[in-house]
Amino acid sequence: MAAKGSYLPHYDCGTIILNVSAATFTKAQKRWRVAYVAICSYRVLLSLSKQNVVRQKASSATLFHPHFAVEIQPAISYHHNDVDIPKPHSPYHDLPDIDPTKLTKMVKERDEAGFRGFGGVEGVAAALLVDPQHGILGNEDDICRRRDKFGSNTYPKPPPKGLLYFVVDAFKDTTILILLACAALSLGFGIKEHGPSEGWYEGGSIFVAVFLVISVSALSNLRQERQFDKLSKISNNIKVDVARGGRRQKISIFDIVVGDVVFLNIGDQIPADGLFLEGHSMQVDESSMTGESDHVEVDRERNPFLFSGSKVADGYARMLVTSVGMNTAWGEMMSSISRNTNERTPLQARLDKLTSSIGKVGLTVAFLVLVVLLIRYFMGETKDDYGNKEYNGRKTEINDILNSVVNIVAAAVTIIVVAIPEGLPLAVTLTLAYSMKRMMADQAMVRKLSACETMGSATIICTDKTGTLTKNQMKVTKFWLGQDDMEEIPSNSISPCILELFRQGVGLNTTGSVYRPASGAVFEFSGSPTEKAILSWAVHELGMDVERLKQTYSILHVETFNSEKKRSGVSIRKNADKTIHVHWKGAAEMVLQMCSNYYETNGTMKSMDEDARNQFEKIIQGMAASSLRCIALAYKQISEVNEDRETNKKLNENELTLLGIVGLKDPCRPGVKQAVEICKSAGVEIKMITGDNVFTAKAIAAECGILGPDDSEHKGAVVEGVEFRNYTHEERMEKVNKIRVMARSSPFDKLLMVQCLKQKGEVVAVTGDGTNDAPALKEADIGLSMGIQGTEVAKESSDIVILDDNFTSVATVLRWGRCVYNNIQKFIQFQLTVNVAALVINFVAAVSAGEVPLTAVQMLWVNLIMDTLGALALATDRPTNELMQRAPVGRTEPLITNIMWRNLLAQALYQIAVLLTLQFKGEKIFNVGEKVNDTLIFNTFVLCQVFNEFNARKLEKQNVFQGIHKNKLFLAIIGFTIVLQVVMVEFLKKFADTENLSGLQWALCIAIAAVSWPIGWIVKFIPVSDKPFLGYLNRAGQALGRILHRTQLSFSSLGRGSGKRGEALT
């Protein structure tokens, strides 16, 4: 007979007969051959019997008895816990003719009759050639065959948006459509007037300029769309635990195939449709599929059906995958859902309002310019290139009038194009896409765009301890049995009965597992870091054999670990004598409270009096003060058990016997203390919220720099969750800011703290990894889940996933959040400078001279520089250390600060003064013609923006060149802009309506533009008020309103007084 639990191979008669040696058969051999075929045929018939499916599996091992006189090629074998498991030949191992549709339908419709028709979960496993304990073979050939027959665990997504989509989207801009209409009219009139060879220049130039603006905008949007899609794929690539070839291993959710045995724990997302194999206390949240919020209990008998996309709410289990990908309801639903790329972040919403306000101003100015230019034209005050009046009443041809009006409208529309800062939303999109990509490299995956911005405003970070501040690499370094430190006492001196109880308590009360690939090879442990550390200690130090334990004992009931109770329990029955033990494992001081006895090394049981209990509490405190996590193990023998399922759900928790206490060391991560100090210097307070006891929490907090010497002495800096919970609301609000460490906290305590902090106006970031952390992660302004230890529920509730579970990465996210906000402010300052200068220059020139100094094409070129290229240059700066030396940006702080107003007004006033001087006096000063003067104005204006881009790099620092060599994209864009400007002026004269400039004139333009550097340097010495600049305007407006109101009242009272005097006279 095969060893219990071994993989039972499946053979078919044809394959084995083909593998028979070619030697001549004797009569006896022929008889055996016929007998063998008969036995195999009988086995096939037997497998068709529903009642004998389980028996068929057991009898299959007897079909190949050693006395069969058949020479069969030896099967390849692999090892599992020192047992040789035969591996079927690949020619034979074809999947049975099972209908995937029938299997899929059975699970989708919860068809219990169909389930029983298959022979239960064992029948389905047998039909899929799966060993429930060891899973599928897992070799490449086996996986490929299953994928070909049943499909892959993927689903087709709606096709991504292509370049054409974004081009069409760009054409939806009303101003672009008006410009195109003007370009078309201008092209038609030009060709009619000057012929095709000369007449196309002006209209064609506008067409080309508009095409450039649309192309660059569409390409930028396409690039960020692809970036978001790439990050979305990474986000969806969940890792799951499966058993393949007897070995537990992590694979991608997309690599799951039908037949896989999947391990499920609290917080996991169920990766495919399937059946419950075995487990305990399994409850599933199916709200994502059914909309019902109540948890569904899943077990082997009454409800074995598990659905893809659901979440494990409680318990643990192993499931058999029966349907994947599009054969699941989740796959069908997800294939029809496209990602929402139109998500508007809070900062984008604020920028939309700013854009709208500036656009209204631009529209007003453009309308005034249009009216002024039309009036001047029809009054005959404008002249053509030859000095003649453009409008001579009835003498002017209708085509000339229409052409002139179209040019005037085009100029006015172009002012709108330049005035409306379309680049602001583009700048936000670009900087978010860029920062998301860089943050991914820095171990942070952004799930919600708004988190990038909000993180820059964070004032408090509430962080977990284990795995975030510490390495999460647990190791048992202390072991107390009774009141004896076992560090110097060998394990063989422990009583055998005590050792056996320890092995039961560790090996059977666990969600982890032990795997040994081959005889003599190193053991492999899976599960949480705590489980792995205790399992490793029990195997190596106590000689625990998990397989022997599983064969010797049967598990009756399990209470899984949760962060409320901070312990897990199991009841087991010994198969030999039917004795029942209840084992508990968990937080030492909590388990200690449940104990009334304890064991000594020699196996003697002693009653736990007050002195003994105090001694154990001192032992726990001493271990905790050394930064050890203390886990206690206790048990109780029960004479009989109530078989009723309902009453059996509660394990006995009273009068337990303490077996021992282990201390696990989890060292602090390198760099954590420095990261904490950086956050503190940035004005961000760090609070540690942990489930560990108060002494361990204090020790770790002090080691990480969260708790300073002053805090340790200050009362209220360290509290326990129950204490915080029992405060009144007023006490919590008063004390919450003083708390640095909260120990023995529950997820509810964490949620309560977040709510209190938000009510006090703080911007709160919270880290979490468990399912129960989901409410706090959702409540916080920024939820940070852990990528390694975090459950899928926690990740879905968070805004950012910290991929390496490291607090240093949390500090990096804070830097990037501030960088995003800072980059957008730089671009706003740069763009508003251009907006103010362009609007004032065009308006003054139009009103006074009757013409605008820049043509439509030139204005579109300036628009391209400041919108797209400017956004690319300024939105891609990396974080600097100086960002972490400022206070956090408040919730209500204005987007345009007084510092920005000071900088942009200084530059705008200089540009207005210079360009208006060139407009009215340039021809006389430089002794040049009108065309050359207009080119000088255009060239100087563009170069002013190029030099001002450098000024915009630093809002407060005088040295704007610091770190410029690191931003190669900025330098490349500046170089590209200058080269294109040279081409526009010198080589595209007809397109851009320019004239060639001499070297001296180029030097003059550069010199004028370069003055913006010293101006930018000087104005940064001017102090600014903390009160918002626009606040002064609002107050001035309110004061003016009050004066007018009082004046009106005075006139009213004066009128009433005159009336009364008139009545008296009469």
Q: Based on C-alpha coordinates, what's the Rg of the chain? A: 39
**Which of 657, 641, 612, 664 has the alpha carbon at shortest distance from 497?**
657
**Which of 362, 387, 364 has the alpha carbon at shortest distance from 859?**
362
Query: Do the Cβ atoms of 160 and 334 come closer than 8 Å?
Result: no
Q: Is 464 a catalytic residue?
A: yes
Rounded Cα distance between 685 and 662, Å, is: 33
Residues paired with residue 582 on neighbouring β-strands, in sequence order: 571, 636
List b or e across 62-92, with b for residues whose CB sees 16 or more CB atoms inside 10 angstroms.
eebeeeeeeeeeeeeebbbbebebbbbbeeb
Instruction: Tell me 641's DSSP state.
Output: -
Rounded Cα distance between 537 and 561, Å, is: 20
Rounded Cα distance between 833 and 795, Å, is: 42
List b or e across 10-47, with b for residues whose CB sees 16 or more CB atoms inside 10 angstroms.
bbebeebeeeeeeeeeeeebeebbeebeeebeebeeeb
User: Which alpha helices (H) appear in 714-746, and where do they start and end?
Assistant: 721-726, 729-735
Token couple for 790? 């975090």
Q: Is 70 left (phi over 0), alpha (psi -120 to 50) or beta?
A: beta
Q: Residue 397: is it exposed, middle or buried by C-beta count within 10 angstroms (0-12/13-18/19+)?
A: exposed
Q: Residue 758: is it exposed, middle or buried by C-beta count within 10 angstroms (0-12/13-18/19+)?
A: middle
- DSSP string covering 907-921: HHHHHHHHHHHHHHH
Residues paired with residue 629 on neighbouring β-strands, in sequence order: 664
State the residue for tokens 């068709």. Answer: 48
Strand 782-786, strand 764-768: pairing: parallel
Strand 475-481, strand 656-665: pairing: antiparallel
Residues paired with residue 514 on neighbouring β-strands, in sequence order: 525
Q: Please report how the helices 174-194 and 856-864 are oriented relative to each other, as an axis angle in degrees rounded to 10.
A: 140
Given the residues 464, 666, 711, 993, the one annotated as active site: 464
Query: Do the Cβ atoms of 477 and 664 come closer than 8 Å?
Result: yes
Token couple for 53? 């499916």
| Residues belonging to the chain | 1066
Element (H, E) at 409: helix 398-419
> In degrees, to the nearest 5, what angle opens at C-alpha 135 toward C-alphas 131 and 136?
95
Residues paired with residue 568 on neighbouring β-strands, in sequence order: 585
**Which of 98, 74, 88 has the alpha carbon at shortest distance from 139?**
88
Q: Which residues contact 953 (CB under 8 A, 6 or more apart)?
A: 826, 874, 877, 960, 964, 970
Element (H, E) at 860: helix 856-864
Catalytic residues: 464
